[in-house]
Every structure is written in C-alpha cells, then in structure tokens.
Structure 1
C-alpha cells in the first residue's frame, strides 16, 4: 500500500496503561542506578582526597599519663600484611603484633618529657614475645621508674609474660575475678613418628650434631636424652632470670615465686579458691579493684580526659609521633638498622621472614646511602636454609671489607642459621636471655611411596642415570642418593664450623665441641666466646656509632621499599594512626589467646612445610621457641 502527500500515515497505536507504568518504573530504576553510581564514585574520590590530605596533629595536654597497651606479641618487625586486605578486612584479621623499639623509645621519651606525669601499663592485650624482649622493655621501664615518675599496672588477669612487665610497676592492681597465672617455663611438643608409620611416610634424616633435634618430632615419639639435657639447661637459666628479677622488683624473698607455683593448690584452698586474694596475700599485687574502680583511681591520679569518659592518658604511639614532630632536624650521619626476623629462606620473602634476595636488597640500600656510616643487624631467627644463611653472611662480610662497621644485635633468638648470619659481623651482641648457638646442620626428605602404594598408586619409569628421578617424593630414596645427601650435610657442617672458628678466633675442634646443635643462652654464649658483649639493641646501636666515630647521628631503619600502590593503600588504611586514648583493656584477649594455645600443636607441621630448599640441607633450630 502507498500513500500520496495528502494521505496521512495511520495513527500510531497508543500503549496501554500497564505498559506505560512499567516503562516508567524501568526508566526510574535506570536513572536511580546512574545517580547512585555517580554519588558512590564521588564519595570514593572524596574519601581518597580526605585520606591523603595532611591532618592537623593532635595537641596533647599540658600534663598526662603515658599509656602503654601492647597487643599481641612483641616483635622486632611487624609481619607483612597485604595492603588490600589491610584496607578491606576488619581489625580481627590484622596481625597482633607490637614492635618493641617504638615502645622503648616512647618510654624513654616520657622519662624526660615534663608533660608526662606517670606511666600506665594496660597489659590485658599482651600475648607474649619472649623474655629477651620483655627484658629490653623492662629495662626501659626501670629507667622511667628511676626518674621518680610512678608506674601503675592494671589487669583483669596477669599471664606470666604480662606479670613480668607489671612487676616493674610501683603499684599493681588486679580485677576481683582475676589471678596471677605463673606456671614456669616448659618446652613440650608433639611427636609424629607413630602417626607417620601409620600413614606409611618414610622420613629420611641426615644430620650432624647429637643435640640437633629439629627433626626429632618426625623421627621419635618422645624427647631424646640429649634434647632433654640441653633444653633443661637453658630453660632453667631463663626461668632463673625471670624469678630473680620478679622477686627483686617486688622485694620478695628468694624462692617466693617457685613457692607460689608449687603450693598454689594448698594456698588457694586457704583463701577459699579466691585467686585474686591469693595474689594479694602473696604480695604479687598491691590491690584488688574492679574495672570502674581502676578507672576512678587513674582519674584521681591523672585527671579526666577531654576526649571521652577516660582518665587523662595518651597512647604511646600518639605520644611518640608527637615527640618526633617536635624533634630537631635529624643529623646528617646515620647508623643503619636492618631487622632480620623469621625463618631464613632463599629468594624474596615478605616482612616476618628472611629472604636471601630481600636481605641483599636492604644491604644495597645501605651501600647506596652515603650518610650511613655503620650498620646494625637485628637478628631474631631460629635459622632455616643453610644456603641462604651463607649467602647473607658472605654479603655482610663483603660490606665489612669495604670499611663499613657491621654489628649484630641478637633478639630473642639467633640460632643455627641465625648464628651463621651473625658470624659475618665485626661484633656480636646478645641479651643475657637470647637463645643462640645451635651450630649444626641437618637434611630432611620425606617420601610417600608406601603411602601411595596402600591406595593403589604405583610409580614406574626409566631414567638415563641411577640418580635420575631418585629424589622424587613418590619413590624410595636410593642408597646412592642417601650417601650423597649425608656427605653434603657433613661438608656444610664442617663449613659452618670453619667460618665460626675464623670469625670467633677459635679452633675448629673447639667450635665442634660448642656446636653439635647445642643451644646456649646469651650469657653463657659470651662466656664461651660465641658472643662479644651483652646488651640491648639500643646498646648495640650506640656501639656501632662509636665504631664509626659518630657523636651526632640518627638511626635509619632500612625497610623494603613499598610499591606505589602499597604506599597508597597503606595511607588509606590508616594503619599508622594510633588511638588518642586507649581504654583499659577488657577480656577481648581471650580469643587470640585461645588461638595462640593451638599454635604449638600445628608448629611442627608448619615447620615441615618450610623444608622447601631444593638442596634439602638446613641450619634450623626446632627448640628455639623462646619462652
């Protein structure tokens, strides 16, 4: 059909009401979606801009109490957390760690700051960190105490680690429902040989050193006599330090702590099972106060905060940030500080582990900074890959050969591969309670051929040589491969002995006597010539400056450079911002505490998963889990 110019086309059929109604709804939803999307985008942009804008520093009161509320474990360097997870996850997923050095710096700054009228220890969130780190923090608390400023410790329940720091306080207060849980030190672990036999796992072990007991949980069902001997020795030494220190600080007679523990059941019965009353009568605490009463006490002592219903206190992070803002321009000369914490492995590793490549990158940063005149390496490691340990040691020695003074400060432990690293330094410093030594080497290779056979899986094939495919985990280890690995272990142990002998001015025979995988405390290691001097990290930094003949210097910690996106996301997360006024800690510590109780059960399995060096040779200390 066609139409001429005078003939109008047929009229368009009008849509019905229902179609028009749903069309309107659809257009409204589309419009709303676009508007909300644009608003969300603008809010994100605004959030980013506000996060990146410089913030006005908080103005601290003219007088306040310095509040120390460490959470989780005391560490030398915080473990790496992916910045995306840091930004998106809740606080429960964040690492429960408190770096020791800023804690000590804030205590020392508060000692001389006229604004700080006292110090409050809120210890419910502290899970531990080893007596070596506790001693370093305790020494700073003692310096604060010597300035005639009061220290008050508060707790709903004191664990052994918490009470050690609390004992430095002038006054210790405990909740009526609380107790002082002192038990002594122990080194118990799970043994898996029977389990592996039931699973038909063949664990091939190659070791040098009768005390090298890292692999015992996989080859025995109980502790060997040699392991029992040397573990008892260092455990008793560390417990002796703990008890003598607490008794001296609390002015208790010698043996009072052991008596409290040994007769706890009888003494509890005499006070009707009231743990808080027993702690008071044993003079471990000075008073029993409820949460409200503790808050009232602090408010009376230090005044009321203008920032909430709290006493007038400032958290140590906030205080230290304020001190640093007001500090004069840093000196041109620097002492570098590298923290080496965790298991030693090859390649690049995140914070919380020591990677050979990662460590070398930090050494390169030291070399590239002309203002760094000396270097301190803080080692807190029970060892790991023998190859990676030697790579790091040789690079430390090369840096020394270029004229850079290099000193090692041992933290809670610097044993096996950790001691191997330290042997490259000019001087080795340790705390009296550091665990060190464990000069020994082992190889470990589990094979699963019998396990697979039980479920009907078999392995067969051909190779061009007797060694081809001989170290597969699904094949029986051949006698030839067995001999090769053992000879390699023997050679590396001899290499370990020789480099220690040269570094320490001892004969290889003497080092072999001190070695055999045996663990020593820092105090004993100094007597044996394995350590030069006893002191804290701050003592070692001062000694490094003295070696470089520096009077005016700053300490620069060498860290892994953050990628631009990591730096950006870290700023957004606000991870470096501390609370203005921390509350007195409640019982929230129980959840992470319960998690920590499961760690010893899984620790041997975790350590087994770390035996991933293709050379299968390790300088690792199993027992170096510092109490």
Structure 2
C-alpha cells in the first residue's frame, strides 16, 4: 500500500508540474506573439543607429519579444524611410539623434537612409550625429546631419575604399577536389575563387571601375554636405591626413569634438529641456511600435514585392531566399488581383539559379502585359538579379547599386581523388547509356560531356542576353558588348541603358502610380510576413543553430557560408555574382 501511495503521489505531482509548465509555456508564447502599443511623450528626439542592419522587409523575433529585447522587431529599409518621413510631420518629434557606431548595410541602402535624412531636414527639424569611432560608410550617412560630433579620443576612418575576394582553389587542391568549370563572359568572375588564386586581369579592370564609381559617389556626397571639393577630400585619403580626432576637425569633416553627455546637453538645449531633466530619446523600434506610417487609401493598390537574397528553384521558407515557386505565386496573385493596378518589384540580389531566374522573369513578363511593372534596385541587382529586372517598364537604381553581370556559369566537382586518397572510398557501377551518369562526383567528365555542358551554358547565356535586349530595347550587339558578365555601378548602368533613373522605392512608387494613372492608391507589401506563432517556434531553433555556428567558426563564419554555398552550385547553371565582395 505504501508503494502505491508514493507512486500515485509522485504521479499527481508530475501531472501538476507538467500542467504548470504548460501554462507557463502558453504565457511565454502569448507574451512573445502579442505586442503592446507604445505611447509617445512630447518633445521627443528620434534615435537612429548606423550599426542597425536593415533587410528589405521587417525582421520579427518573437523570442526576443518575450525576453523584452528591443530587437524583437526591426523595421525594413523602406519601412524605416517611411518612419523618418512620418517623424518630419510628427509634433512629438523635434529632431533626430544619429548615433554613429559601425555600419552593417550596403552602399545603396545607406544612400536610401541618407536621402531620407536629408529630406527630413527640409522640415526644419534638426539632425545631430555623434560617434566614438566612425567607419567610412557610417560617416557617409552622418554627413546628412546638421552637426557631426566626434568623441575627442575616438577616430574617423577616411582612408579610401578597398575590396577583397576570398579564393579557395588552394583548399580544393589540398583536398584533391577538381572543379570542372564552364562559363560565358570574359568578366564573369564568379568562378575565379574556384579556379584562381588571385584576381584575373579582366576582374581587376571591372572591380577598379565600379569601386571607383562607388568612391566617387561617396566623395561627391560628402563634398556637397561639408563644402569641401572632391579633389581635396581624395587628398585627405591619399595622404592619410585623418589620423586623430583633431585632424577630422581641422579638415572640416566634423563640427566639433564632444563626449556623449555634451551632445546630450546640446540636444536638451535644442529641445528646450532643462539641464537637470531627462532627454526624451525615442528609439526607432519604439517609434515603429507607436506609429503607423501612411500606406495610402482607396480600393486601388500598388503591390510592392520584395525580392532579397539568392535566387533558388522550388519552394523555401528560409528568409533572404528568392524561391521561384514562392515568387511565381506572389507575382501571379498580384497580376490576377484587379484592385492591384501596378507592381513595384524591389530587387536586392546578386543572383543564383539561372532557371529560377527565368521562371520569375516569365511571370513578371505576364504581369507586365496587364499592368505596369517598375523595378527598384537595392544594393545588388546583378546577374540573376538583373535577369528578373530587365523586363520592367522602368528601372530605378541608386548611383552605388551594383548591377549588370550579364553572364552565366556552371560548376561540377570531380571528387574521385578526394574520396579515394583522403577517405579510401571508390566507386563503380553500370549504366544503360553512355551518358547516364553524367554529372556524378565520382569521376571526371570526358571531352564529349564537357562539350555538352558548355553548349548548355552557352544557350542559357544567349537567352539571358536576348531577354535583356528585348526588355531594354537594345541592339543585341550592344547587349553583347556590355554583358560578358561585367558588373556595373548604377551610374554606369544608366549611361549604358541598363537602368532608367536614379532613385529609391518612393521614386519607383511614384513612377508606377503615374504609369497606372492613379491619383491615389494603397500600398500592399509581399511576401506576407508569417504569423508570430510560427516565427516564435522557428526563432527558438534557428537562432540557436546560427549562434552555435558563429561561436564555433568565429571570424571564419562568412568563409564557412561561402564554402557551404559551393555545394548548391554543382550541376545547376548559375547567374550569380562572384562569391561576396567585402568592402572596407
């Protein structure tokens, strides 16, 4: 009897404990997926941080919401632009405090943010910038401010631009892995990391060209903001004159050397707050939860479709992937919706699968037959990213967008020696036709197979060029001369006819509204953000996995990602940029 008493008591305790845990879990989930609206006090100063990375669409992290982490929801880039626009007419916002503490965004994204800040200043409200250590891209955004203050013991990087590519040919050689590479276009450098140990002459030429364009835009923007001519600014970098904070002040790159408390004191004075009172600083994330930027009204709609990341075939629920089946469905939905009068296709992609790019191009071409389609390019709209853009009625890019790269390549990996000599594994088999096992990693391609693969790559390249010629109304010979896999800046792309105008998402929306003859409209955005409960469950596993990998690889995490991408290239013709450009 005593045993049963103990058993049932333990069982009851377990049931009660399980019930309590279940209730706690429900409360956690409830807190994570619910959001309480913020209220704003008057006389506020909106705080923006250049270190914040902005995706094209907002990022939600319900697990962060439960932990009361301010990064539970990070606005997307265009959402941030709209919040800045809203702040310009918001009586509760007196100005913007721009904290310069690193930069995680691309060139064109920074251009979009900087332009929004310059537009904000036209309202008569102030923008003050302060930083301890200012990198070049963060400083470029800061030059949109009325005043720029640098910590007296801090620093300002003004050394010019450089870029570095990672080459893994030596690694493959050591592992006895032989990449068999097929490509079209003398500038198509995406396969160089696999077949070279340094940049080819052609790649060095194109990189020098577009890096010079990016740097020229950088100097021009600073020159206009700071009143120092571009030649003088270039001289500062060439002679390494900005070594100390006092140098930045001496050469008029900043307006003063201040500590944070001194800047806060000046902001109090600007907003009429007493020195012993607390300044009402409002983070962007808090402001985002307190206000709803205007999306327009009425039955007429313009669909803004965000396409960010690698282009892949099939379906995917991974963020920052442009999966062809997903986007076919989204575009078709917008095409068939009679209330959607125009489409703005926002592209931020270095490309990917050529076939998936063709699938998306086809669906956008069908949409264009029944309503205007306008493309807005972000940091990248190159290779496959340009493939899915070239059919548009009008294309907008920033001066520092990287685009073009009209070329394709294919890679297969012969891993016979790796398996045999490193692992002791060999392969053998039978087949019913000579080429039944074409593409296997267990043996090298023969000459006939190499001709077949190269022919397929050539066919896709010619198709890519024909899409560009038809979409941009250019002579095929001209397209061939500016294709060849060459990467162009947005500035050069306009000169060459690959892009129509300089501008951001707002400009693309205005153009789409004009083409559709709309005096008023409501903006709708796709892909639709997933429900918070699904996000919560995914964030628990996904975020933990990413953190463990980053902890394991440390500074080599980006190299790990690049090597991981290689496995997806085998056998699939790619329209893709070189691995990653790392700019400094």
TM-score between both structures, scaled by the size of structure 1: 0.83
Q: 1:134 aligns with which of 93, 110, 122?
A: 110
Do the aligned partners of 2:410 and 2:569 also contact (CA within 8 Å) in 1?
no
Give the corresponding residue for 1:238.
Answer: 214
Match of 1:503 in 2: 471
**Structure 1 SS opposite 2:237:** helix
How far did 1:61 drift? 2.0
- Partner deviation per Cα, 1:465-490 (whole Å, 9 max, x = no partner): 11122321111212221111000011
Contact conserved, 2:156 with 2:242, CA < 8 A, in 1? Answer: no
Kindly indicate whether residue 86 of structure 2 is the aligned counterpart of residue 117 of structure 1.
no
| Equivalent residue number for residue 578 of structure 1 | none
Structure 1 residue 622: Cα displacement = 0.9
Cross-structure match for 1:191: 167
| Correspondences of 1:375-386 after superposition (within 5 Å) | 375-386=343-354
Asked if 1:434 is matched to 2:408, the reply is no
Does the 8 Å contact 1:73/1:96 carry over to 2? no
The question of 1:61 aligning with 2:41 is answered: yes
User: Quick one: distance in 1 between partners of 2:18 and 2:350?
Assistant: 52
Following TM superposition, by how much is the alpha carbon of 1:549 offset from its aligned partner in structure 2, in angstroms?
A: 0.8
**How many pairs were matched up?**
573
* Aligned-pair CA distance for 1:287: 2.3
Structure 2 residue aligned with 1:422, among 389, 403, 411?
389
In structure 2, the residue matched to 1:296 is 265
Tell me how far apart the structure 2 counterparts of residues 527 and 241 of structure 1 sit (CA, whole Å).
Answer: 15
| In structure 1, distance between residues paired with 2:269 and 2:391 | 54
Shift of 1:148: 2.1
The residue correspondences of 1:222-261 to structure 2 (distance < 5 A) are 222-261=198-237
What's the offset of the Cα at 1:322?
3.6
Contact 1:189 1:600 in 2 (8 A): no
Query: Shift of the alpha carbon at 1:201?
Result: 1.2
Which secondary structure does the structure 1 equivalent of 2:307 belong to?
Answer: strand
Q: What RMSD, in angstroms, separates the aligned Cα atoms of the two structures?
A: 3.5
1:200 aligns with 2:176: yes
Q: Hey, what does 1:103 align to over in structure 2?
A: 80
Structure 2 Cα separation of the partners of residues 328 and 72 of structure 1: 24
Q: Secondary structure at the match of 2:425?
A: coil
Match of 2:54 in 1: 74
| Among candidates 346, 356, 365, match of residue 313 of structure 2 | 346
Displacement after TM superposition at 1:360 (Å):
1.0
Pair 89,469 (structure 1): closer, same or farther in 2 beyond 3 Å: farther
Query: Are 2:566 and 1:608 equivalent residues in the alignment?
Result: yes
Q: Is the 8 A contact 1:67 1:120 kept in 2?
A: yes
- 1:622 maps to 2:578: yes
Query: Could you say which residue in structure 2 is the equivalent of 1:488?
Result: 456
Three-state SS of the structure 2 residue aligned to 1:408 is strand
Give, in angstroms, the shift of residue 32 of structure 1.
Answer: 5.6
Change (3 A) 1:431 1:48: closer
Deviations 1:175-217 (A, max 9, x none): 2331112332222112222332222111111111000000001
Cα distance change on mapping 1:599 and 1:129 into 2, 3 Å = farther
- How far off its partner does 1:164 sit? 0.9
Q: Is the 8 A contact 1:51 1:572 kept in 2?
A: no
Provide the C-alpha distance between the structure 1 equivalents of 2:354 and 2:86, rounded to a whole number of angstroms.
41
Summarize the Cα distance change of 1:181–1:602 in structure 2 as closer, same or farther, 3 Å threshold: farther
- 1:228 Cα deviation (Å)? 0.3
Aligned-partner Cα distance in 2 for 1:96–1:460: 53
Secondary structure in 2 aligned to 1:443?
A: strand
Change beyond 3 A, Cα 1:398–1:368: closer
- Seen in structure 2, the aligned counterparts of structure 1 residues 197 and 366 have a Cα distance that, compared at 3 Å, is same
Matched-pair contact (CA < 8 Å) for 1:244–1:254: yes
Q: Give yes or no for contact 2:160–2:215 (8 Å, CA) kept in 1.
A: yes
3-state DSSP class of the match of 2:345? strand
Mapped to 2, the partners of 1:421 and 1:267 lie a distance apart of 43
Deviations 1:565-591 (A, max 9, x none): 426869999x9xxxxxxxxxxxxxxxx
Whether the 8 Å contact between 2:32 and 2:536 is mirrored in structure 1 is no
Alignment match of 2:509 (pick from 531, 541, 555)? 541
The match for 2:493 among 525, 533, 551 is 525
Which residue in the other structure is 2:379 paired with? 412
Any stretches of 5+ residues in structure 2 without a counterpart?
544-549
Decide whether aligned partners of structure 1 residues 30 and 391 sit closer, same or farther in structure 2, where only a CA change above 3 A counts.
Answer: closer
The secondary structure found in structure 2 opposite 1:340 is strand
SS of structure 2 residue aligned to 1:428:
strand
SS of 2:189 mapped into structure 1: coil
- Equivalent of 1:337 in 304, 309, 316: 304
Residue 262 (structure 1) aligned with residue 227 (structure 2): no
- Rg larger for: 1
Cα pair 2:165 2:580 within 8 Å, conserved? no
- Partner of 1:470 in structure 2? 438
Instruction: Give 1:329 shift.
Output: 7.7
The C-alpha deviation readout for 1:153-183, integer Å capped at 9, x for no partner, is 1212111121111111111122233111233
- Structure 2 CA distance for aligned equivalents of residues 328 and 557 of structure 1: 10
Deviates more, 1:127-136 or 1:46-55: 46-55
* Partner residue in 1 for 2:546: none
Tell me, in whole angstroms, the C-alpha distance in 2 between the residues paired with 1:202 and 1:51.
Answer: 49
Deviation at 1:596, TM superposition (A): 9.3
Asked whether the equivalents of residues 212 and 441 of structure 1 are also in contact (C-alpha less than 8 Å), the reply is yes
